[in-house]
Amino acid sequence: MKVAEFIGLDLHERPGKPRRTGFTSVIDGGGTPLSNIVDILESHGEYIDLMKPTSSFFVSPVEVLKKRIAIMREYNVGVQPNGLFLEIARLQGKEREVLGKLRELGFTHVEVSSSTTDRNTAADDNEFAKLCLDMGFVAVGEVGKKFPDGDRTRLAPDRINVEVTIEEMQAFLDLGVEHVYWEGDILRRVIGQSPEEIKARQESATEQLRAVLSEIPIEHVVFEVTSLLTGPVRRMLQQWLIREFGPDVNLANIPPRDVARVESMRRGIGVVHGVGKAGDHPWVRSLAASDNGTATSEWWRN
C-alpha cells in the first residue's frame, strides 16, 4: 500500500508493469553505491522498467556486476548494457560470443545502435537485431548519434531529418523491436538547454518531433534526456516532454537519484523550476480549478 492510499488520497493513475507507455529507463554509471540502489528499488522499483549499467563496469570485477544485476532482477527490473558493450563486440566480430556472456551475467535487454561510430549501416543493425531476438533478448533500437557529424537523422545539429528518422525507427519496428531510443543529443539541441532556448524553440521543436510521431506511434519511442546535463536542465527537458506528450511518455537515461522526482513529475505533484507555471504542481492546480476535486483529462497542459 502506498502512502497516499494509506492516508486516503487519490493521485493520477499510472500504468503498472509490464508497461508499453510511461516507460522509465534508468542509467547506472556505477557511482551510486549498491546500498543506495537497493533503497531506490525498495521505495520506487515498480516505476523502473529498465536499468542500464554503463561501460564504466568494463573495469569492475565481474561478480560486482552480477550481484548488481541480480538485485535489479529481484525487483522485476529489466537490465540492459549500454550500447558501447555491443558496439565494441560488433567491431571485433564477437557478437554471438558476447551476447552469450551478457545472458550469463543476467542481462535481459540489449541495445542495437551505432551511436558512437558510423561503421555499421542500417542493414547491419537490422541483421544484428534479428540475432539478439533469436538469442532471447528483448532488443531496443536506437536512432541518432551522440554528435551531429555523420548523423543521417539530422539536417543540422538542431534540425531533425524527419524522413530518415522515420525510416530508421520503422525499420526496427518492422523487426519486432518494441521500443526505440531517440538519441538525447538531438533532443536537447532541438528542444533547448535553458529556459530561454526552450521558450524560443517551443514551436519549432514541437513541429519537428510531431512530424516524426505522425508516422511512428509514440508508445514505441523512448526519449533520452542525457544524464550529463545539470539537474535543473534535465528536469526542464523532462517536463517539456511530459507537457507535450503526457505523463506516460517514455523516458530514458534517468539517474537513480532522479527516479522519485520523475515519478512525481509524471503525476503532476512535483515542482520544476525554470519553466514557469507549467512546472508548478500542474495536477494539483487542475484539481484546485475544478468544482468537484477532479483534474481535467489533460491536466499536464496547465
Would you kindly state where each structural domain of the chain is located, as residue ranges? Answer: 13-267, 275-302
What is the DSSP secondary-structure string of 219-275? GGEEEE--TTS-HHHHHHHHHHHHHHH-TT-EEEEE-GGGHHHHHHHHTT-SB-TTS
pLDDT: which is higher, 277 or 244: 244
- The answer on pLDDT for 115 being more than 60 is no
pLDDT at 121: 61
Run of H or E residues at 179:
strand 179-182
Residue 45: Cβ within 10 Å count:
20
The model scores a pTM over 0.85: yes
Dihedral over alpha carbons 40, 46, 49, 52 (to 10 degrees)? 10
CA distance 142 to 113: 5
pLDDT at position 36 is 94
* Bond into 195 cis (ω within 30): no
Residue-level pLDDT at 125: 74
Q: What's the confidence (pLDDT) of residue 116?
A: 52
Is 28's pLDDT higher than 90? yes
**Cα separations in angstroms, 129 against 42, 113, 209:** 33, 9, 25
Q: Is the pLDDT of residue 37 over 70?
A: yes
Q: Give pLDDT tens digits for 147-193.
A: 999 899 999 999 999 999 999 999 989 988 989 999 999 999 999 98
Higher pLDDT, residue 121 or 65: 65
Report the pLDDT value the prediction gives residue 120, as an integer from 0 to 100.
57
Say how far apart CA 284 and CA 213 lie, in whole Å.
Answer: 29
Write out pLDDT tens, residues 118-128: 555 666 777 88
For the ranges 17-21, 97-101, 225-229, the lowest mean pLDDT is seen at 225-229
Q: How many CB atoms lie within 10 A of CB 171?
A: 18
**14 falls in which pLDDT band (50, 70, 90)?**
very high
- Domain 13-267: which CATH class? alpha beta
